[in-house]
A and B are shown apart, each in its own frame.
Chain A
Amino acid sequence: MVTATMPATGRQKTRTRIRVLEDERWLALTLLTPTAVLLGLFIAYPFIEGVYLSLSASRVGVPGEFVGLKNFEKIWNDGIFRTAVWNTFWYTGITTVFKLFLGLWLALLLNRHFKGKAYIRAAILLPFIIPTVLSTFAWKWMFDPTFSVINWALFKLGFISARINWLGDPDLAMTSIIIVNIWRGIPFFAISLLAGLQTISPELQEAAAIDGAKPWQRFWHVTWPLLLPVTMVVVLFSVIQTFADFQLVYVMTGGGPANATHLFATYAYQIGIGTGLLSEGAAISLAMFPFLLLIVIVQLLYIRRVEVR
């Protein structure tokens, strides 16, 4: 008999001490403390500080007294702020539609089997991983009024006869920014939706095909409903990122020409950091919050509903 020969040694004797970390609650508390400290210090505290700033009249280095909602009143009456609000919604809405459509199209293309697929898939993610500021500079250079390769190409193809001043005209500047955002966002949509597509069993497609469904019907009745949950999350992320975007506009136009292309964030930067009106800047930033919250709530509710089903 193997077991009986082993006498109870010191290391085997029953340890009755109850270790604190064997208690799930204490262990969870310990494990979550670093996260809580960092998020508390640099998210919760700034948020409160931001609310306080926006309700006072502070400038850089000068703590201000409490002024209530005056800052919000001021920005509400500010024409540039209103333009920025309109821009932000337009920018978010239009880019999301295009990113979703083009991203889905690309995902469907990549969902087939072809030679070199892995390389293509890796390559098309580049716009997403290369620092936005750096790739945006490439675009800015491509949109340069004098040296634009895009103008050159459009001219050679016979689409235009005179130069297009991409970033100099307010409407065209916004369009340029929208194009770059779509360009940057397509890979994220495409790769995420591709991952979603790959979880859909090909048997469903085959079954639908046997049932006589045309490719378009198969997409609409089989693929799209199954892809919807992933799509919603991808859209949620993208909408929030786009709504709060800063880098792209900052690099492309800096909010110009004539403050026509500001978003919440760039205008907040210009006022809060550029001119040092901290409180007003904080108020502009915080003005994003209700919209962000609304987007998150709507999407979370929707996602939960889909999950329940």
Chain B
Amino acid sequence: MAQVVIRNLNKKFDEVHAVKDVNLNINDKEFIVFVGPSGCGKTTTLRMVAGLESITSGDILINDTVVNELPPMDRDIAMVFQNYALYPHMSVYDNMAFGLKMRKFDKAEIGKRVQEAADILDIGQLLKRKPRQLSGGQRQRVALGRAIVRHPQVFLFDEPLSNLDAKLRVQMRVELKKLHNRLGTTAIYVTHDQVEAMTLGDRVVVMKDGLVQQVGAPLELYNQPANRFVAGFIGSPAMNFAPVAMAERDGAIWLEGPEFRIKPPEPVASRLRGHAGKEVVLGIRPEDLRLANGADSADLAFEATVEVTEQLGSEILLDLKAGPGQMVAALEPTAPAKVGDRLRLAINPNRLHVFDARSEAAI
């Protein structure tokens, strides 16, 4: 049971500054997810926590102890790798027992713990097999089992689900969640998949180019993205962005583009007032668009042409050509829309996002 503190962490590989000034306090029992595109520094950060990568500058503390110089074997952590990293020459039992043997546990204790973990993961019948005789899902479970027998301070996960097929991935995601609820061990999880991040994380750290973009609970990232990158990364389908000009007329703020003109309501309007004259980008999530009806204010609606429709059953996605550019709208599956239709769409006024075009920070 442990807290992990990351302080001004930096990593430089020869030319590349892979991790830049990362600061994070991870609480005991917290499940924290690092998410970002490949090369964003998330895996490097995790590997520094594991001790597999040296630290260029900054500190990592586990339970108030600086572990910068501690070899991985002394950090009392467990890690699950993307390719599972099962020892191919050992049986499942020996795979799970290896960490305990290295720590000189006695035989009885090892047997007890392996059995316990096998029961939790429902792999008791596989203990005698060799890794190559297991399916992908079973290997994943063994890798998890190998981590949990150790009762480590911290679990580290490096994209553990990305080698599984889509269906199994969803299933294992749920199991991971259950497992964490049951064990309560602090966990750091790295993924490039924002769905995994949103569903698993107590808090999510979004990274890009070695920098932390935002840290927050999943809903916080979704509702109040700190910048355009987070806004675009979190949520599926991705948020629509439209470069617009900001104009102030008769004391009211207008966001305008070609064939497009909306008047953002308060409190967005008052936040915008301080940025008058700057170029801004409007962000609207596809699910915050709907077909306009007579009751909708003209101030928050625009016209668009349907180019492609994607019926998903639970919703229908429309690829639209609107004044400021391409947009996607997620509507009720029964929405009457055909390719070529000209539609009038209304924006949910409370869910407008505006970003500074230059700094990309949220306004």
Contacts and interface: CB of A to CB of B under 8 A. Distances in A.
Nearest to B63: A14
B71 A18 contact: yes
A22 B71 contact: yes
Interface of A: 1-4, 6, 11-12, 14-16, 18-19, 22
Contacts of A12: 76, 103
B123 to A, nearest CB: 16
Contact of A2 (B75, B76, B105, B151): B151
Given A3-B151, A4-B1, A14 B184 contact: no
Contacts of B70: 14, 16, 18
18 contacts: A1-B182, A1-B184, A2-B151, A2-B182, A3-B1, A3-B184, A4-B1, A6-B151, A11-B104, A11-B105, A12-B103, A14-B65, A14-B70, A14-B76, A16-B70, A16-B74, A18-B70, A18-B71
Interface string B142-164: 00000010011000000000000
B183 interface: yes
Contact of B184 (A4, A15, A16, A19): A4
Nearest to B185: A3
B74 A14 contact: yes
B104 A2 contact: no
Interface in B59-97: 65, 69-71, 74-76
B202 interface: no
Nearest to A5: B151
B55 to A, nearest CB: 14
Q: Shortest 7 CB-CB distances between A and B: which pairs?
A: A22-B71, A3-B151, A15-B74, A6-B151, A3-B185, A11-B104, A3-B183
Contacts of A1: 182-184
A18 B69 contact: yes
A16 B182 CA distance: 31
B116 interface: yes
Contacts of A3: 1, 151-152, 183-185
A277 to B, nearest CB: 54
Contacts of B69: 18
A283 B185 CA distance: 72
A16 B65 CA distance: 10
Contacts of B105: 11
Contacts of B103: 11-12
